[in-house]
Structure 1
């Protein structure tokens, strides 16, 4: 078994995975060299040395390739970050650290992020759901919420999945706003406000106490 292979994975499944990885690598290289809009599926098939039908069997549109690329990066970032989170003192500091790390990459790759989010929201609007499964950032948020529950910081009467979904909607809205006009606010400062909104609600705690 080669490094990166999954136990129990068949030869056909491994071949499919290798082909998908090759497509993503070639396509992203083309996007970087000549731009997303100037790259066609036909060029990707030619550069990958596969039939167009094979390409479309794996990815129906260019945006799906970007989505998979971003998901893979997200999982890699999550793997690097998750071990450090357990050493932090509370849920707030863990969420801030995890999201700050994720959005550092977002700030450096706004075009790819915009394409990816647009593709995901389009699928959701058409009832296709999120076929790519849980992202690395979502898995980190779920782990943080589970740890917060164990420590008595997060309520238990709402499912982890629903809490992650609510946080996802909030952060997606913030990122889309920033992508449309990055001058309107500092992305990571706004994400920090979002974390407080998620954890503490919209009540003005200082004013309420006064």
Structure 2
């Protein structure tokens, strides 16, 4: 595409994005210092130097701010993995790499993860979608599965969308269980088990031999 033909972002749109980024940065800073429950929307507006109405125009509740922050983290981690996909030999190693990187961050940030997942589940139960589309982890899993189908590593008669949804459900259940008591098991090894369950099913392959 010629540079002169590329769409130019308007000043109002740039300002809107800058304000959202500022809100997220201020809110996460407050939450990290004093905790989520002790942080109010009024504090966020004051520290961001914006009117409360402006804050609510961008985010209806503080959970939505955390969700956007986690989504941006997810996109950044996914991009880092995208750059290494072609260096990995098969679909299993690619899925393991993608999920290991994502859940390394989750293990360090259980509170933010729980807030984000709770907000998403609440919206899903109301039938609400996400205007920002898929998360970074979902996008990279879709690309990995697509590559796997093209290489003949994974069945092609099931859509990429459905396969991503399947692994999404499995990993979501594990994370919610882990969040109840992170000391009970290590999250990343369990995610490796989820990859094997997704690819090979529940059959005991060693016992079946």
**Structure 1 length normalisation: TM-score?**
0.94
Structure 1 match to 2:76: 76
Shift of 1:111: 0.4
Shift of 1:72: 0.6
Matched, 1:89 2:86: no
Q: How does 1:124-135 map to 2 (within 5 A)?
A: 124-135=124-135
Structure 1 match to 2:153: 153
* Aligned equivalents of 1:187, 1:82: Cα separation in 2: 22
Gaps of 5+ in 2: 1-5
Structure 1 match to 2:180: 180
CA root-mean-square deviation: 1.2
Q: How does 1:35-54 map to 2 (within 5 A)?
A: 35-54=35-54
Is 1:95–1:195's contact at 8 Å kept on the other side of the alignment?
Answer: yes
Corresponding residue pairs, total: 204
Gaps of 5+ in 1: 1-5
Q: How does 1:5-154 map to 2 (within 5 A)?
A: 7-154=7-154
Shift of 1:175: 0.7
Structure 2 match to 1:3: none
SS class of match (1:129): coil
SS class of match (1:124): helix
* Aligned equivalents of 2:8, 2:164: Cα separation in 1: 31
